[in-house]
A and B are shown apart, each in its own frame.
Chain A
């Protein structure tokens, strides 16, 4: 029974993620004075990729890489409580807490990197280096923020953190612990990976990074992961800082706003080089995080 609910939630999240991706692509195109793709373009891409016949592989790890990556994304989803107070939509969150979610993010990173590594394309390693380097520093303000709110609520359970924020928006973490929220929300920009932190993917100018190597079904899996991950990360931040959600509508609205904030900044700002973004994450967001920790203790 549990598994059916989990699959149902997964279906919602996946479709919502695909639609969201499509809409965001259209919005960013309009900002750039282009018309943009239709909102259902992500569906077309996905189906096309899964259906491609001619494929190349470089070995076992090339297979395992995308599997790891998607396992990481779905893993975060599986251990995340979605709707507060609803046992049906809390997934497997009773088996692991916030720490588990934080560390699950690594699995995807590792898988992606390993798979691309076996491809042996020099561009992959450039992308991986950039991605891993930036990711480690994003985690610094994020960790500080997590420590701060865990100390604030004296729990590491996401459900309990959400529970503590119930009863009006004045109880949300963004009001009760603005410093931690600020640090985490800056880290969020890096996690989602729009400008100014998108040199990792470098989507337009040069074909860097693992997506160059993967194609067909492999790329399909990576795309699936991407849409899920963006949504589920928004939900994580919603749970931690914005009072969680008591129904699906609240979840979608809140998640969209959180996600859109990253998109908004991404369309406005230019891009950092990696060493700049490393320094940036270790400067303002980290100071905010340290202040959040000092403030709470």
Chain B
């Protein structure tokens, strides 16, 4: 093996010998530098490989033939090898990326480049504190050299600021080193550690100075204005070197010197990390410059790593896992984003939609951002999971809260940025991509994927089964050039096969009704909802991998046995659905709302799982039942996550516009299927937790009220919508309110209602959205006032909508009535009369929008431009008629569905169930015989129809255009639609109920966060002296804090 000392020798030798090539061809000098960098990478990689595979021992290298403290010693251990490999490979990739830049700027730049990496290498390896100082200085000066050689004015000024700041820090460090030497008589780090300087009077000051200098090197918020300016002004190729190279090396310094400070320093470092993490992410919210956002993100991630480091003792053997999964994610993803920023060469994130020209890069940006956010399947997800679980277990709930809050802030700015990329705009400039700049980007994205796999394996939290969907998604992605037709068949057969395995082979034999019901909704629903995909032409790039991921996430929820698996599947599903929604034409803003609410919900759920783990020490889902002490908190926190998904009242504002703006078939999927994941989650949660007495009955009581109010407000809002999809979307909020209400009753009949509603809602909501989508597809409008009289043009769609609304309104004899009937029984048995009355009232209100939906689209006068409209495509109609068959079967013979569910529920709620006698179902209150009702109704209806028909055979049919018409005003056509402003008196009387006060409240929160963030960031003045002042103030405050001055 090549000794680590050669790293220094080669780097230094190359740097000096480059001077001889000043006038030669720059290709030669670049090749020399490149080879040297490659060799450095090779050496460190080789050591890493040895440590990983051959149980290599840590080695010490003594220079000049003496042992320390008389000479400088270098150390090569596992950690050194990891850090060096990271730093050097970054150098290598940066060299490739900067290929033309380095050649253009000449040999001088190559020399400082080499020197910088040499400095960083030694900083990592050295065990001598003065030597460390020297090489830290070399690196800083080399970096400033790199910056100043750019010869741009703002780069030079920021380089100078950097020099001032690092000068101040070095001064502090040097004084610290002098003092340390005074007290310990050695500069050898191992000696310093064993000297326990903190205990010596005066020694603690020496330690303080060293530690504070190291902390300042990490650019903690808020004493970091100098670093932010550098990030913003340098060439995009330098950004990764600062964030991935220098920051990484600085972290290692902290790691190396931490033992000198001892355990007493863990808490201060943790708090510094918390402030950095929270503060930087908070200020990132208001930023518009991509480099500055990346700078804030880098600093916040360093903060997170400091937090992790401070928890090293409590994390125990999980420390390395957590630390490296977060570090490497951040290192790879940040480099990738910086490089892409360089390729685009636009600083404002508003201009990033130029990437639309190159969809491949968007995928890469997505991978990098989701890696930074710690979403599955990317490495930091596993790390964050272990971190939160561990923090919870050791009782650090405040820290959990802070980390999750900071992560949410980070999600805000990264995802908003991501949204900006996808905004559609015409006349984009062409994007010129140089191939050599693309190589490192692609390389790190592959590294992320590989590392994701390795982390998952290392974590041991999930089995190989969980990769299958990703492999399938990748496969479909690889074959994305195929036409939609083939991909749709592939997707349908995949889902069909999976539902066969999951439902037929697994859960039906086990008779697990809960999972059969929801598995069928998720997977069989998926098959039905994929059928309309055949109408799409072309390739529909990127759609199918996401669909597969979303449904595999849903299936994963069904299969999950641990909270981790559940959370993993939950996040996959959320992420995939977000990406599906954002594909809609104007969906950027709505999907941003969606993902933000979902992330916040997921984080509270995360915290809840953490609490559960803290008490039981197990991540099994069944263990939730054993939570006693934290039961209320855990229950409430987890429930919030589900409430967001079902758009419960208060957190519902994301839903309407997301539904409205998503592609039409996506809307059917999310509204009929995806939203049930929240219901499923609530059921799992309530089954395991509410049935025990540990959870206060007040929580379900409150949930009941939330559900009731949600039902009322959702339905009230639906009445006034002029956008068809929004109308149905608001109605979903209403129906989810019913289900939440029914579940929170915690009784047999309540749950039976909720299950029945879930099934029936799936059927009719899918039916309605599909039918409406078919209409929208033909009419090319979502505005209800631009439609009318379509019954003659689209009779089959009309039948679908008619059946859909009769079921929705709960009118007998169709299946919806089953739900209503059970509901009455449940409410009266439970004694929740007032809430129940609200829910019933909202059920009646539903009648209004149901009628509006069918009337304004299909009845009344036909629009002139719709005269030649055709019936919706057969691919929209087939799934509708499958769903109608489902509704009819349940309407005529509800027993087949309701009875097994009742038996299942009897295990949990043995009393007050439904008793079946033939086709009659009865409770102790009432009875209902769906089959007979249907027979009587059908008989009566038939007889009356025959009577009417036979008595009016000579009727003359009036054509649609042969009747009264209103004049229509083209500029605001809705005002002259003859049924415009329907229910105006209703609005006049009850309009106050639908005032958007929840929306305003959230808007207020959002805007306050933004404006506070905007005010606070003015703290960074851009003045080098002020920045130096910040550092000094920071040191003083820190000192006072450590030594109890406050």
Which A residues have a C-beta under 8 Å from some C-beta of B?
50, 53-61, 63-64, 66-68, 70-71, 74-75, 78-79, 92, 94-100, 103-104, 106-107, 109-110, 113-114, 117-122, 125, 128-130, 132-133, 135-137, 139-140, 143-144, 147-148, 150-151, 154-157, 216-218, 221, 273-276, 278-279, 282, 289-290, 293-294, 296-297
Q: Which among B806, B932, B988 is the interface contact of A92 at CB below 8 angstroms?
A: B932
Can you list 9 A-B contacts with CB-CB less than 8 angstroms, sorted by A residue number? A120-B859, A133-B985, A136-B848, A139-B844, A144-B837, A151-B831, A156-B825, A276-B989, A289-B837
Q: How far apart are the CA atoms of A64 and B861 in the complex, in Å? A: 18
Contact A70 B954 (CB under 8 A): no
Q: Is the CB of A140 within 8 A of B944?
A: no
Contact between B944 and A278, CB atoms less than 8 A apart: no
On whether the beta carbons of A96 and B927 are closer than 8 Å, the reply is: yes
Known: A58-B963, A144-B837, A293-B833. A95 touches B929 (CB 8 A): yes
Question: Which listed residue (B848, B933, B957, B984) contacts A96, Cβ 8 A?
Answer: B933
Query: B949 contacts which chain A residues (CB < 8 A)?
Result: 63
Most buried by B among A107, A109, A279: A107
Question: Across the two chains, which residue of chain A brings its CB closest to B945?
Answer: A67
Pick the most buried of A55, A78, A94, A129: most chain B CB atoms within 10 A of its CB: A129
Q: Does B1002 contact A (CB under 8 A)?
A: no
- Chain A residues with Cβ under 8 A from B795's Cβ? 60
The interface-forming segment of B71-79, B668-676, B816-824 is B816-824
Indicate if B982 sits at the interface (CB-CB under 8 A).
yes
Structural contact, B809 and A293, CB atoms closer than 8 A: no
Q: Are B855 and A104 in contact (CB under 8 A)?
A: no
Cα of A294 to Cα of B1013 in the assembled complex, Å: 49
* Chain B residues closer than 8 Å to A117, beta-carbon distance: 854-855, 859-860
Q: Assuming the A-B contacts A278-B989, A279-B989, are A55 and B955 also in contact, with contact meaning beta carbons closer than 8 angstroms in the complex?
A: yes
CB closest residue in chain A, given B929: A95
Complex: chain B residue closest to A279, CB-CB: B989
Tell me if B's interface is mostly helix, strand, loop or mixed. helix
Chain B residues near A104: list those with CB within 8 A: 811-812
Cα distance A282–B954 in the bound complex, in angstroms: 46
**A281 (CB) vs chain B CBs: closest residue:** B989
CA distance A50 to B951 in the complex (A): 7
Query: Nearest Cβ distance between residue B229 and chain A, in whole angstroms?
Result: 62
Instruction: Verify A98–B940 contact, CB threshold 8 A.
Output: no
Q: Is the CB of A56 within 8 A of B929?
A: no
Give chain B residues whose Cβ lies under 8 Å from the Cβ of A92: 932, 936
By the criterion CB–CB under 8 Å, are B932 and A95 in contact? yes
Q: In the complex, what distance in Å separates the CA atom of A132 from the CA atom of B805?
A: 15
**Residue pair B845, A136 in contact (C-beta under 8 Å):** yes
Instruction: Check if B834 is an interface residue, CB within 8 A of chain A.
Output: yes
Closest to A292 in B: B833
Interface residue? B439 (CB, 8 A): no
Query: Does B926 make an interface contact (CB < 8 A)?
Result: yes
Question: Which residue from chain A places its CB closest to the CB of B991 in the assembled complex?
Answer: A275
Per a CB cutoff under 8 Å, which of B806, B847, B925 touches A156?
Answer: B925
Complex Cα gap A74–B845 (Å): 24
A95 to B821: give the CA distance in the assembly, Å.
13
The answer to whether A57 and B791 touch (CB under 8 A), given A95-B920, A96-B928, A129-B982, is no
Q: A132-B851, A147-B827 are in contact. Are A96 and B929 (CB under 8 A)?
A: yes
User: In the complex, given contacts A95-B928, A96-B812, A143-B841, what are 12 additional A-B residue pairs having Cβ atoms less than 8 angstroms apart?
Assistant: A56-B958, A63-B945, A63-B949, A78-B936, A92-B936, A95-B936, A99-B821, A133-B848, A137-B989, A147-B828, A147-B840, A278-B989
Name the A residues within 8 Å of B791 (CB-CB).
59-61, 118
Tell me the smallest distance from the CB of A13 to a CB of chain B, in Å. Answer: 15
Contact between B989 and A282, CB atoms less than 8 A apart: yes
Q: Does B978 contact A (CB under 8 A)?
A: yes
Q: Which residues of B contact A107 (CB under 8 A)?
A: 811-812
One digit per residue, 1 when the CB lies within 8 angstroms of any chain A CB and 0 when it does not, for chain B 953-968 equals 0111110100110100
A154 to B923, CA, bound (A): 11
Instruction: Tell me whether A293 and B928 are in contact (CB under 8 A).
Output: no
CB-contacts of B553-599 with A (<8 A): none
Q: In the complex, which of the residues B833, B937, B941, B978 contacts A148, with contact meaning CB atoms closer than 8 Å?
A: B833
**In chain B between 966 and 987, which residues have their CB closer than 8 angstroms to a CB of chain A?**
966, 978-979, 982-986
Q: In the assembly, what is the distance between CA of A156 and CA of B925, in Å?
A: 5
* Given known contacts A156-B828, A218-B948, A293-B833, A133 and B859 CB-to-CB distance under 8 angstroms: no
B990 on the interface (CB 8 Å rule)? yes
Residue with the highest number of chain A CB atoms closer than 10 Å, among B806, B929, B948, B956: B948
Chain B residues with CB under 8 Å of A74's CB are 940, 944
Check A70 against B851 for contact (C-beta < 8 Å): no
**Pair B985/A278 contact, Cβ less than 8 Å:** yes
Q: Assess whether B789 is interfacial by the CB under 8 Å rule.
A: yes
Q: How far is the CA of A247 from the CA of B239 in the complex (A)?
A: 94
Whether B810 sits at the interface, judged by CB under 8 Å, is: yes
- A130 contacts which chain B residues (CB < 8 A)? 985
Query: Are A151 and B989 also in contact (CB < 8 A) when A57-B957, A217-B948 are?
Result: no
**Cβ of B798 to closest chain A Cβ, rounded Å:** 8
CB distance from A130 to the nearest CB of B (A): 7
Interchain nearest-CB distance for A137 vs B (Å):
8
**Are B952 and A55 closer than 8 Å at their CB atoms?**
yes
B879 contacts the other chain (CB 8 A):
no
CA distance A70 to B941 in the complex (A): 9
Q: B985, A275: Cβ atoms under 8 Å?
A: yes
Q: Which residue of B lies closest to A148 (CB)?
A: B833
CA distance A121 to B851 in the complex (A): 16
Which of A59, A109, A276 is packed against the most chain B CB atoms within 10 Å?
Answer: A59
Neighbouring B residues of A129 by C-beta, 8 Å: 979, 982-986
B836 beta carbon closer than 8 Å to chain A:
yes
Contacts of A144 in B (CB 8 A): 833, 837
A275 to B847, CA, bound (A): 18
Q: Are B837 and A143 in contact (CB under 8 A)?
A: yes
- Nearest CB of chain A from residue B760's CB, rounded to whole Å: 15
Is B792 interfacial (CB-CB < 8 Å)? yes
Interface: B434 (CB within 8 A): no
Known: A99-B821, A106-B809, A148-B833. A125 touches B855 (CB 8 A): yes
A120 x B960 contact (CB < 8 A): yes
3 tightest Cβ-Cβ pairs between the two chains A and B:
A156-B926, A117-B859, A274-B985
A113 contacts B851, C-beta separation under 8 Å = yes
Q: Which of A96, A109, A113, A150 sits near B855, CB closer than 8 Å?
A: A113
- Residue numbers in B under 8 Å from A132 (CB-CB): 847-848, 851, 983
When distances are taken between beta carbons in the complex, the residues of chain A under 8 Å from B920 are 95
User: Contact between A275 and B828 (Cβ–Cβ < 8 Å)?
Assistant: no
CB atoms of A114 and B812 under 8 A apart: no
Collect the chain B residues with CB atoms within 8 Å of residue A70's CB. 944
Interchain CB contact under 8 A, B792 and A136: no
A133→B837 contact, CB < 8 A? no
Inter-chain contact B957/A58, CB cutoff 8 Å: yes
Question: Which of A99, A113, A279 is the most central at the interface, judged by chain B CB atoms within 10 Å of its CB?
Answer: A99
C-alpha spacing A199/B275, complex, angstroms: 66
Q: How far is the CA of A122 from the CA of B859 in the complex (A)?
A: 12
Q: Tell me how far the C-beta of A160 lies from the nearest C-beta in chain B, rounded to whole angstroms.
A: 9
Contact for B958 among A58, A68, A156, A216, CB less than 8 A: A58
On chain A, the residues within 8 Å of B924 by CB distance are: 154-155
**Contact with B988, one of A57, A78, A275, A289 (Cβ below 8 angstroms):** A275
Q: How far is the CA of A186 from the CA of B598 in the complex (A)?
A: 46
B573 to chain A, nearest CB (A): 36
| Per-position 1/0 for B14-30, Cβ under 8 A of A | 00000000000000000
Most buried by B among A70, A95, A97: A95
Q: Is the CB of A120 within 8 A of B964?
A: yes
A137 CA / B941 CA spacing, docked (Å): 28
Closest to A121 in B: B964
Considering the chains assembled together, what is the distance between the CA atoms of A40 and B634 in angstroms? 72
From residue B768, how far is it (CB to closest CB) to chain A in Å? 15
Contacts of A148 in B (CB 8 A): 833
What residues of B have a CB within 8 angstroms of the CB of A66 in the complex?
948
CB-CB under 8 A from B979, the residues of chain A are 122, 125, 129
CA distance A282 to B845 in the complex (A): 13
A103 in contact with B811 (CB, 8 Å): yes
